[in-house]
Every structure is written in C-alpha cells, then in structure tokens.
Amino acid sequence: MVPSTRNWVIFALLTGALQVLADAPAAAQGTIRRHLVYFRDKAGTPYSVAQPQAFLSARAIARRTKQGIAVLPRDLPVNPAYVAQIQGLTGSPRVVYTSRWFNAAVVSCDSATLARITALPVVRNAATLNRSQQVMKATPAPVQVSPAAARGTLATRAQYGPAYRQDVQIGATAMHDAGFRGDGMHIAVFDAGFPGVNQIPALQPVYQENRLAATRNFVDDNKSVYLRNSHGTNCLSAIAGNQAGFYIGTAPKATFHLCITEDINSEHPIEEANWLAAAEYADSAGVDVISSSLGYTTFDAPSTSYTYADMNGRTAISTRAATFAARVGMVVVSAAGNEGVNPWHYISAPADADSIISVAAVDSFGIRASFSSYGPSADGRIKPTLAAMGLAAAVLAPNGAAFRGNGTSYACPVLAGMVAGFWQANPTLTAQQVIAALRSTASLAANPNNSLGYGIPNFVTAYNALHPTAPLSATGQRGAPDALALFPNPTGDGALTLVLPEALRDQPLRLRVLDARGAVVAQQQLGATSASEVAVQLGRLAKGAYTCEVSAGATRRTVKFVQQ
C-alpha cells in the first residue's frame, strides 16, 4: 500500500502511532534507529508548575493565562536526571528530543543499546519509530492543473491574483478590508520542506518585516528548512503570500514558525513523533495556530498500519499530540485527507483529534471535491469540521510561480490563515470559542454531515454573529458606528468585552443587565475611559437572553446577548 502522507504530498504536487508501536520488534543489532522511550514518572523533577517560565516562553504563558488554562504536571519537561541516565549508557545513545506531554524521549541507538535503555528502572517501555534509512530524493517539480479544472476560479480582483476565489469564499478579503490580516498572530506550519521560501518575491515581506519567528527541522535535527519537499512551500504561500497584483494569502501579516516534520521518502511513526515534538515546540514558543497538511493511515512494512477503528481520537501519536495542543490553547487546523475515492475512504490522523479543525476540500462553487476524505471519526464524531477551497486552489511553487493544485493539503492553510485573522479580530475568545464561532455560523451549521462537516465558514458571518450591533458589511466595512456592541456573544461565563461608541467614552458609565422580563440581574459602575473596548465581569448568569444597558447621563445604549 502507498504510505498515506507521502501519497498526499505527491497527490498535491502532481495535481496542482503509538498504539501500533507498542511491543514492535527491535531493529537489527548494529543498525541505528530512532526509538520512543517512555519514562515511568516525573518524580524528583527540578521543574515546577509554579515556575512555568523555566520551560515556557512569556508568550506561551500569556496565551494560557488569557484563556484560563493552568500549567499542569503533564507540561513539565522530562526529568533531566532520567535523560542523563540514558546518555550515560555504553553504546553512545543520542537523545534527539524529549516530549513533555508523553513523558518520553526520542533516542537514536542500535538494538543492543535499546535493551540497556529499557532495563533502566526509570524507563517504562520503548517502541521503534523508523525501519529504514533512505537517501533523500530530489524535490519533484510541481505540475500545474490544466486551466479547465479551475472551474471559475479566475481572479476577479486584481490585487489578489489567482488566490482571490479561495480567499473571498471564506470572507478573507473582507477580513483584510476590516483591518485583520493576521498581525501579531503566530502560525506554525508543519510540513515536508520549504524550498524557495526565502527567495520567493511574494513571501519576502515575511523577512523584511521580521515575521519569521523560527525554523525547525525535526527530520534532520537542525534548523535548515529551505530544502526537502516543496509541499510546505505551497501550503505556506496560501497563508503568507503578500504581493499585491500577483498573489495575497489569507493571513499575509502573520508571524510564522516553519517546522519540517515529514520525510516523504518513507512512512513510519517517527514522523508522528516529529509532529509531537513540533507541537510541543509550538506550545512553548507561544504559537496561536498550527496548520498541518499531513496525515497518517498506512506505514511502510514492517511498521504496523492503522485501521479505521484507530481513527478514534485517542490512538495515533499525532492525534494525541493534536489533542494536547488544543488543550493548551492553540487552534489546530489539520487537513482531513485525500482518501475520498480510495479504499481507505475516511479521515486520517491527526484529523480525528478532538477539539481541532479538520478541513475538507471544496471547489470555488462550494461543491465537495471528490477526493476529500469522509468522516465520521471511528467513535462517531462529526468529521471533517469545516471546508475550504482545495480543488484548483492557487499556491506558489519554489520558483515563485503560481499554479493550481488539488488537495485538502491546500484547503487547510487557506482556512488556517482566516482562523488567525478571525482570532485577531476577536482577541478575547479562547481557542475553543474561535472554533465554535466559525462552526456555528458555517454554511451547514444547521445540518452538518460527514463529508463537509459544518460547511464553509465565512469571516463576516462569524464576526457579525459576535457583534450584532456593530456588524461588518460584505466588504468588511463596519456598521452602526454609534451603537454599543459586546463580545463574545453568546457568552459562557459572564466575562464580556464592551465596544463603546464615542458617545459613551471619557465619562463615568453605569452598566445594567436586564433579563427577558426586564428585571435588573446585575449592575456596576465603570470608570471613564477613552478606549473603544472595555472588559467587564458580570459573574455567572443563568442561561437565557439578556439586555446590556450602558448609560452616561442622558446618553444610553443597549445591546442584547445570550448567556449559554
């Protein structure tokens, strides 16, 4: 069988597991492999949840604090004394990287050394991650989709070029017009390589404006990313492209972390371990959104492949890693897979993870692409989550040329950029509230299915649902400038951000909350402020519809909201 992610990459280019690891046979003695070594505990660790700055960046801590996410023991690094015990063994074992969330280490060594490692009292067990050592192949040249396959995706807005249709379909052009282009948002792109990214004209603003935060190559264990396979270049361009009159992506002002986790020359669980390491890096660096156009179903022998039953949200290493990433406050956006017309048929890991966005592919008319993988997850959850343009999507090649390609691989970054801009526009939302807002306002929200999930989201529709009294027009222009607005709406814990019209600024304010009967259920005084937004904490309200009234002297404004 053709390895799943390698097939995805080739598919995209040509057209435009810890559970299974357990008790795997050791590699032949003398051959250096990579193994995942699990420790028994974190006893005696010098790290503490009370001092997260020792292992998390200030940005990572701020992301968690903003969302009310506590630092837990699972976030602590592995005990360095345990790592030292491995490194002190004969056979020269090399600890490639460690996993906080799995309390494990990826170790490079031969089977004799692995036996000594597993005999250590601090080690619970180990599994071999890779089975072959292959020479890296040259990057294949991308093949363009014929113009006939574009089906109406010719640009109708000169500045966006061929990216216009995929951008406008999800409201990204209106998002840009409203001033949200991903500024200040950090996006990590996990892929197979980024050749040409540092030379493509449409991507030069990333460098000119110092918006490349980091590069990490987890395959070769270094920081070189402008090599290997161009699939990552294609995917990044759908987000970061920023050359007016030629090509504009969905979050052209975001800050990027480029991570190589995928080796398309073979397919083994080491790549999922790389995904885990990249996700933990993204967490520690304070990344907001992960865009991953990778998927795992089938491995090269003798590694054991998955079955559909394993797509249950708790088996594959990449799936479990994606779930952890969601739990610490990142929005994970994952391609659903290109197996719709293949025997596998269903989504791939990590698209089966809970609490993430799994992306299906549609054409420019919103019609599902035949190759797009189906749900549900094996445990019955709606999958995919959302959809974006992945049939005849426009991306950039390493030489800077634009071409059209097919794949949920391309739908994923197109949507990931909009997610970043939407979160920028609604900064008080948590990661899960961002997902909920997009899902509840998408085209199939009233009747989701297992081919397109909740459908195609739209920035304007989702934004206006949160800001009903200060909506955006279809072109992103703000409406009702003298109206009071609040978000999030619906709200869940009584915490609100009020958007004050000019008539209510620079003077003391009185706030009252009235229930559906008109009874006052909460009230407070607010100090004078010249700010357009002010945060208020109302306390826990019963579920229902409310009116928020803010007054200053004779000036009064009201806005309705729903408490969930």
User: Does the pLDDT of residue 400 top 80, yes or no?
Assistant: yes
Angle at alpha carbon of residue 433, lines to 340 and 168, rounded to 5°: 55
Q: Is the pLDDT of residue 504 over 80?
A: yes
What is the structure's pLDDT at 69? 98
Do 429 and 513 lie in one domain? The reply is no
Residues 257 and 376 in one domain: yes
Best CA proximity match to 451, nearest among 296, 327, 346, 556: 346
Say which CATH number the domain at 447 has. Answer: 3.40.50.200
Of 358, 364, 372, 409, which is the active-site residue?
A: 409
Q: Residue 226 — φ and ψ, nearest 5°?
A: -90, 50
Q: What does pLDDT average to over the chain? A: 89
Say if 289 falls within a structural domain. yes
Nearest CA-CA partner of 312 in 401, 244, 380, 247: 380
**pLDDT at residue 146 is higher than 50:** no
pLDDT, one tens digit per residue, over 246-279 is 999 999 999 999 999 999 998 999 999 999 999 9
Dihedral pair phi/psi, residue 214, rounded to 5°? -170, 160
What is the pLDDT at residue 497? 81
State the Cα–Cα distance between residues 58 and 55, nearest whole angstrom: 10
Residue 409 annotated as catalytic? yes
Residue 287 is assigned to a structural domain of this protein: yes
Phi, psi of 225, rounded to the nearest 5 degrees: -125, -5
Q: What is the mean pLDDT of residues 154-162?
A: 70
215 and 304 together in one domain:
yes
Residue 471 counted as domain residue:
no
User: What DSSP state is assigned to residue 135?
Assistant: P
**Residue 37 belongs to what H/E stretch?**
strand 33-39
What backbone phi and psi angles, to 5 degrees, belong to 421?
-65, -35
When mean pLDDT is compared across 46-50, 213-217, 294-298, 541-545, the lowest value belongs to: 541-545
Q: Are residues 400 and 332 in the same domain?
A: yes
pLDDT grade for 19, boundaries at 50, 70 and 90: very low
CA distance 110 to 119: 15
232: pLDDT strictly greater than 70: yes
Q: Is the pLDDT of residue 478 over 90?
A: no
More confident residue, 564 or 40: 40
CA pair distance 296, 267, nearest whole angstrom:
9
Rg value, the chain, Cα: 24
Q: Which one of 176, 186, 231, 257 is the catalytic residue?
A: 231
Helix axes 431-440, 459-466, angle to 10 degrees: 110
Predicted pLDDT at 213? 98
Q: How high is the pLDDT of residue 105? A: 98
Please tell me the predicted confidence (pLDDT) of residue 388: 98
- Backbone φ/ψ region at 515: left (φ over 0), alpha (ψ -120 to 50), beta: beta
**98 bridge partner residues:** 105
Residue 246 falls inside a structural domain: yes
Query: pLDDT digits over 407-435, tens only?
Result: 999 999 999 999 999 999 999 999 999 99
Can you give the pTM of this predicted structure?
Answer: 0.81
Domain that holds residue 50: 28-128
Q: 233 near 11, Cβ under 8 Å?
A: no
Cis peptide before 490 (omega within 30 of 0): yes
Q: Do residue 207 and residue 100 come from a single domain?
A: no
> Do 457 and 528 share a domain, yes or no?
no
CA-based nearest residue to 305, from 105, 131, 135, 133: 131
- Alpha helix positions (H), 145-269: 164-169, 172-177, 204-208, 231-240
Both structure tokens of 353: 């993870």
Q: Are 476 and 418 in contact (CB under 8 A)?
A: no
Report d(CA 562, CA 47) in Å as an integer: 42
Check residue 534 and give its pLDDT.
Answer: 85
Number of folded domains that form the chain: 3
Verify that 459 and 499 share a domain, yes or no: no
User: What 3-state class would DSSP assign to 544?
Assistant: strand
Looking at the fold, whether 462 and 500 belong to one and the same domain comes out as no
Residue 458 in contact with residue 387, Cβ under 8 Å? no
302 in a structural domain? yes
Residues 211 and 355 placed together within one structural domain of the fold: yes
**Digit-coded pLDDT (tens) for 56-83:** 999 999 999 999 999 999 999 999 999 9
Domain edge (last residue) among 81, 110, 128: 128
Q: Residue 27 pLDDT more than 70?
A: no
> If we measure between CA atoms, which residue out of 191, 164, 167 comes closest to residue 275?
191
Q: What is the mean pLDDT of residues 211-240?
A: 97
Which of the following is catalytic: 75, 167, 191, 352? 191
Give the model's pLDDT for residue 10. Answer: 57
pLDDT at 18: 36
pLDDT digits (tens, 9 = 90+) for 301-315: 989 999 999 999 999
**Once rounded to an integer, what is the mean pLDDT over residues 158-166?**
92
- In this predicted structure, the answer to whether residue 138 has a pLDDT above a threshold of 50 is no
* Residues 161 and 98 placed together within one structural domain of the fold: no
On whether both 220 and 120 belong to a single domain, the answer is no
| Same-domain status, 91 and 187 | no
Q: Quick check: 168 pLDDT over 90?
A: yes
Structural domain ending residue among the three candidates 111, 128, 145? 128
Quick one: pLDDT at residue 270? 95
> Which residues, in sequence order, are bridge partners of residue 281?
none
Residue 439 has pLDDT above 60, yes or no: yes
| Percentage of the chain exceeding pLDDT 90 | 76
Pairing of strands 289-292, 104-109: unpaired
Question: Among residues of the chain, what percentage have pLDDT more than 70?
Answer: 88
- pLDDT at residue 197, as a whole number: 98
What residues are paired with 126 via a beta bridge? 37
Of 301, 354, 311, 312, give the one whose Cα is nearest residue 332: 354
- DSSP-assigned states of every residue in 468-509: TTS-B-TTS-B--TTS-EEESSSBSSSEEEEE--GGGSSS-E
Residue 515 pLDDT > 70, yes or no? Answer: yes
268 labelled catalytic: no
Q: Residue 271 domain-assigned? A: yes
pLDDT the model gives residue 284: 98
Query: Is residue 16 domain-resident?
Result: no
Q: Of how many residues is the chain composed?
A: 564
Q: Is residue 219 part of a domain?
A: yes
3-class DSSP assignment, residue 94? strand
CB crowding 508-545: b at 16 or more within 10 Å, else e: ebebbbbbeeeeebbeeebeeeeeeebebebeebeeee
What are the tens digits of pLDDT across the range 347-384? 999 999 999 999 999 999 999 999 999 999 999 999 99
